[in-house]
Amino acid sequence: MRIGEAVALPVTAVDSKQMVLRVIGKRNKQRALPLTESILDMLRAVWKLHRSRKWLFPSRRIVTHLPDATARAAFNQARNECGFDNQFRPHSLRHSFATHLLEQGVDIRLIQILLGHSSIRSTEIYTHLTEPLRENLRQLLRQTTDGLFEGRGPGNG
C-alpha cells in the first residue's frame, strides 16, 4: 500500500470473513488485498491499543486518521535504527513487494491488481530484475535450448 492509503484505513476496511482488506487507492479506486491470519492478528492488536471506532490508525485525537507525515517519520526512525540509508523510503516497500512476488512466479497482471495500477507499464517499473529472477531466466533458457544444437555441425542440418 501507499503510505496515504495505509494511514487512512477505516476499521470497516477489514473484512475478516472474506479475509481481505479493502483499500481506497488513487482516483478513489477500491481494491481488495488478501489478508493472512498474522496480518489480521496484528491489525487487531493495533486496534486494541486505541479502540477507535473509525480508524485503524488514528491520530492522537482519535477523530482523524494518522497524518502521512507522522507515519513517514516513524518509518524513517525505524529505517535509521536498522541502518538503512535515506534511499530506502516507504515507497521502496512497494517495489520490494512487487519484485518478491515476481520472484515467486506470481503473474505480473496479479501484481498489477494488488498494487492498484491501471496500467501494466506502471507495474513493470516496480519489478526489478534481481539475481533470483536472472537465475530463473537462465534455467528457463537452459530448458528451452537444451539439446537444440546437438548433432548440428557443418553439413548436419
Catalytic residue set: 2, 26, 91, 94, 117, 126
What is the C-alpha to C-alpha distance for residues 109 and 153, in angstroms, rounded to an integer?
42
C-alpha cell, 33? 488485498
Q: What is the DSSP string of 63-115?
A: SSBPPHHHHHHHHHHHHHHHT--TT--HHHHHHHHHHHHHHTT--HHHHHHHH
What is the C-alpha to C-alpha distance for residues 75 and 81, in angstroms, rounded to an integer?
10
